[in-house]
Chain A
């Protein structure tokens, strides 16, 4: 696990970070914190409270008869966790996994159950504090770009971060589509 700095329990240490950020920004408590990651040169953000841990890429076990973007399943301390490749999910060009490739383990709400999934991204980059008012709704690109997971856009220091609704990454409808596809 060379460059893959394991930031375990990011969510747990959030309180400390909040205090730190709070000293710099005056009204931090009205904002939301996002963990941002890189994917094909773009920056995306997920609600930090959904993040369980970040771990380096390790080979996973392929599961037959599932969509290609489900890379397989992983043993996370005794529980079996599916791993989704975000580049494949967004139909982006494939690259070789390298030293910065990480799996972000997310706790998502699917239907009425909490599930744990892992998403493969190019690299993690930052923890951002975003004010509610700075989040803009995602524009409609039509069918050309898949944006159903994008809950909003935020501008931070002159660059744009796409905020993802992780609950939709592997939602119930998604699952039933998967099931329909495999049958």
Chain B
């Protein structure tokens, strides 16, 4: 009988990755010197479930690797090992390696023990170290590791394993057990087929086999017993050592990688490193979205709402059967009900896609931890508002820009400890991450209390690059804007952290592709704040419908600053061609939408139309339209799916009457108008 494990595979990997995150955050929360037993327990539990699951799916490399981590954690848990920075760092490194392994496993790659040999060496070196120095309070745990030059373990074991016939019923699989044994050393397995009945009497759900196994490897009895721990009561098990047989080849593959000469391993590791990083790249691009976990409450809510919708529908159809004009009031209220139902339902469905932003924040503590150590800076990372929810797609795409912003604050913003003390600030710098709702948007702030932007230097750089004339004095806001221009970096040296001048422009572009904006505020000597504004969801926008001649278009509300009557405005012409309208003491270029779209319209005079003042990518423009029709939420539909991308149009939507209206791409239109 073979149980179909493939459908569990996916959830195993999902859970393992969650477990890894739990391990990582647990490790980061461990205070060196005084470990909180609960955090260690959390980390231990996560490691243990990964180990258990990986055994079931035949990921032996993962199993044995996690086993060593677990041993170390176990010592920390029972207090026989002190929590030191070293241990935490090695464990963090191991978490990374484990993630590589699991990603490779998920994508069907080959798992080779060499990939993790170096990390495993480090872990085992730590373990070996304790064995020598601590007063061997709990010798059993130490002995479990294969790295030990133990004096109790035997070189080989014979195991006779006869499970009871109903073993499968308890959910155990002898094959898995034998595989797990294989992690401990070299196996020779012989199956005993004597109990096997005639084919006609064979019950596929029963186990008739027995095995006699020879295990070569320096393993102690307890490690073997642990493999059989789940089936201990359901089988006849005899474990006995093979006496005094010293053979050179009876070194387990694990021990081999440990004992193996250092020089050889370094070469090995390099190859392994490169391979795993390649894998990570291909893996993350191929399978970004898998599934989401939805709170059962949210699902229940939707079921209730669907119920209400069905009731309303029944009510309306009864009403429609013998409709008379007197019942118009009832019809109206029924339709009102329908509208409310569908809006509620829409909101609930959207909420299913909402995840707390902590998913995007989770990567940051680790990065700050690593990077601050590398840069020699002292940093405290404060995160607030991590339960703020936003759309899953937005969360997936906001991760990289956020990492970049935090990295920038750490590298450029915060000063070195002595410099901070000199400036009268506390030695430890603070980076604050804050997320909150504002209007229909999510605001994410990345704030540091560092030196602030060096405006003079940015300006100098901008002049050097020819972005601005030397004699112009730009405003502070304009100087801050230069930060987002490609190719500008104020870091004196290019480090592998930052300074190549690609970065802030990419950050801005990524955020803009999500329909968001990013602004920077800075005070010399006080610090810098990046304010990222994101829409709650990508699937729905608030739109203003406008009429251009006979045609309807939707302008995203987020880009509209104000709408003006054409009559009574001050219009100017530049060089007889470019038209400008005066708006709040600024001259804004006019874009006649009917010209760009080649549409038929009555209103050809600027005075007859309406000016919708819009902003996109920092540029303002006035769209001339015939009429403003109303504001509504619209669901974005793709034009590209069946057709192609249209300049100046970001998508389409379906109006209440079933017809299609195009959604305008404001920055694109401004660019388009500039080209003409």
Contact mask for chain B residues 637-649; partner A; CB cutoff 8 A; 1 contact, 0 none: 1110111111111
Report whether A80 and B596 are in contact in the complex, using a CB–CB cutoff of 8 Å.
no
Instruction: Judge whether A75 is part of the interface by a CB distance below 8 angstroms.
Output: yes
Chain B residues in 8 Å Cβ range of A65: 597-598, 646-648
User: Among the interface residues A64, A65, A175, which one has the most CB atoms of the partner chain B within 10 A?
Assistant: A64
Q: Restricting to A44-80, which residues have a CB under 8 Å from any CB of B?
A: 59-66, 72-75, 78-80
Whether B642 lies near A64 (C-beta < 8 A) is: no
Inter-chain CA distance A111–B646, complex, in Å, is: 19
Contact B647 A80 (CB under 8 A): no
Query: Is residue A178 contacting chain B, with contact meaning CB distance below 8 A?
Result: yes
Contact yes or no, A74 B643, CB < 8 A: no
B659 at the interface (CB under 8 A from A): yes
Q: List 10 A-B contacts (CB under 8 A).
A: A61-B660, A63-B643, A63-B646, A74-B660, A75-B660, A79-B642, A81-B642, A81-B643, A82-B642, A115-B643
Using C-beta atoms within 8 Å of the partner chain, give the interface range for chain B: 20 to 34
In the complex, chain B residues whose CB is within 8 Å of the CB of A72: 660
Task: Assess whether B652 is interfacial by the CB under 8 Å rule.
Answer: yes
A66 to B662, CA, bound (A): 13
Q: Which of B605-663 contact A (CB under 8 A)?
A: 637-639, 641-649, 652, 654, 658-662
With A and B bound together, what is the CA distance between A61 and B660 in angstroms? 6
Q: Which of B551, B637, B649 lies in contact with A78, CB distance below 8 A?
A: B637
Q: Which residues of B contact A63 (CB under 8 A)?
A: 639, 643, 646, 649, 662
Shortest beta-carbon distance from A30 to chain B in Å: 33
* Residues of A with C-beta under 8 A to B645: 179
- Min distance, Cβ B549 to any Cβ of chain A, angstroms: 10
Among A59, A62, A78, A182, the residue within 8 A (CB) of B654 is A78
Contacts of A178 in B (CB 8 A): 644
| Cα of A182 to Cα of B551 in the assembled complex, Å | 20
Please measure, in the bound complex, the distance between the C-alpha atom of A79 and the C-alpha atom of B551, giving whole angstroms. 20
Docked complex Cα distance between A96 and B273 (Å): 69
Instruction: List, in ascending order, chain B residues with CB within 8 A of A81's CB.
Output: 642-643
Nearest CB of A to B591, in Å: 13
Complex-state Cα separation, A74 to B551, whole angstroms: 14
Interface string of A109-131 (1 = CB under 8 A from B): 00000011100000000000000
Report chain A residues within 8 Å CB of B644.
175, 178-179
Give chain A residues whose Cβ lies under 8 Å from the Cβ of B502: none
17 additional A-B residue pairs with CB within 8 Å, beyond A80-B642, A179-B644: A59-B659, A61-B551, A61-B652, A61-B659, A62-B551, A64-B598, A64-B648, A65-B648, A66-B646, A73-B660, A78-B654, A79-B637, A79-B641, A80-B637, A116-B642, A178-B644, A183-B647
A170's nearest neighbour on chain B, judged by CB, is B643
B residues near A82, Cβ cutoff 8 Å: 642-643
Complex interface: chain A residues within 8 A of B596 (CB): 64
Contact in complex: B652, A80 (CB < 8 Å)? yes
Smallest CB separation, A83 vs chain B (Å)? 10
Contacts of A62 in B (CB 8 A): 551, 599
- Tell me the interface secondary structure of chain B in the complex: loop
> What are the residues of chain B within 8 A of A61 when measuring CB–CB?
551, 652, 659-662
The complex places the Cα of A179 from the Cα of B646 at a distance, in Å, of 9
Q: Most chain-A CB neighbours within 10 Å: which of B597, B641, B645?
A: B641
- C-alpha gap A60/B598 in the complex (Å): 16
Q: How many angstroms from the CA of A78 to the CA of B658 in the assembled complex?
A: 9
Which residue of chain A has its CB nearest to the CB of B593? A64
A contact residues around B661 at 8 Å (CB):
61
Known A-B contacts A59-B659, A117-B642; the reply to A73 vs B652 at CB < 8 A is: yes
Whole-angstrom CA separation of A103 from B641 in the bound complex: 19
Q: Nearest chain-A residue to B655 (Cβ)?
A: A75
Interface size class of A (residues with CB under 8 A): 20 to 34
Contacts of A64 in B (CB 8 A): 596-599, 646, 648-649, 662
Q: What is the chain A residue whose CB lies nearest that of B645? A: A179
Lowest 4 CB-CB distances: which A-B pairs, in order?
A: A64-B597, A61-B660, A82-B643, A115-B642
B641 neighbours in A (Cβ, 8 Å): 79-80, 115
CA distance A179 to B643 in the complex (A): 11
Residues of A within 8 A of B646 (CB): 63-66, 182
Residues of B within 8 A of A60 (CB): 660
For the complex formed, measure the closest distance between the CB of A171 and the CB atoms of chain B, giving whole angstroms: 12
Nearest CB on B from A68, distance (A): 11
Q: Cβ of A74: which chain B residues have Cβ within 8 Å of it?
A: 660
A154 to B596, CA, bound (A): 45
Q: What chain A residues lie within 8 Å of B659 (beta carbons)?
A: 59, 61, 75
Inter-chain CA distance A87–B566, complex, in Å, is 41
CA distance A175 to B649 in the complex (A): 17
Task: Report the nearest B residue to A182, measured CB to CB.
Answer: B647
Residue of A nearest to B638 (CB): A80
Which of B596, B599, B649, B662 lies at the interface centre, i.e. has the most chain A CB atoms within 10 A of its CB? B662
CA distance A78 to B660 in the complex (A): 10
Specify which chain A residues have a CB less than 8 angstroms from the CB of B648 in the assembled complex.
Answer: 64-65
Instruction: Please pick, from A80, A116, A183, the residue contacting B660 in the complex, using a CB distance under 8 A.
Output: A80
> A75 to B658, Cβ gap below 8 A?
yes
Q: How long is the Cα–Cα vector from A72 to B598 in the complex, in angstroms? A: 14
Q: Provide the residues of chain A in CB contact with B654, threshold 8 Å.
A: 75, 78
CA distance A74 to B660 in the complex (A): 6
Q: Which of A144-183 contact B (CB under 8 A)?
A: 175, 178-179, 182-183
Chain A hits for B637, CB < 8 A: 78-80
Residue of B nearest to A74 (CB): B660
- In the assembled complex, the Cα of A162 lies from the Cα of B659 at a distance in Å of 33
CB of B639 within 8 A of CB of A73, answer yes
B670 to chain A, nearest CB (A): 15
A residues near B647, Cβ cutoff 8 Å = 65, 182-183
Closest to A116 in B: B642
Please name all residues of chain A whose beta carbon is closer than 8 Å to the beta carbon of B652 when the two chains form the complex.
61, 73, 80
Most buried by A among B596, B637, B648: B637
- The proximity string for A residues 73-100 relative to B, scoring 1 for CB distances below 8 Å and 0 otherwise, is 1110011111000000000000000000
Residues in B with CB closer than 8 Å to A182 are 646-647
Cβ of B418 to closest chain A Cβ, rounded Å: 57
A80 and B636 alpha carbons, distance in the complex (Å): 11
Within the complex, the shortest CB–CB distance from A108 to chain B, in Å, comes to 9
Interface centre among B596, B642, B661 (most CB of A within 10 A): B642
Distance in angstroms from B127 CB to nearest chain A CB is: 53
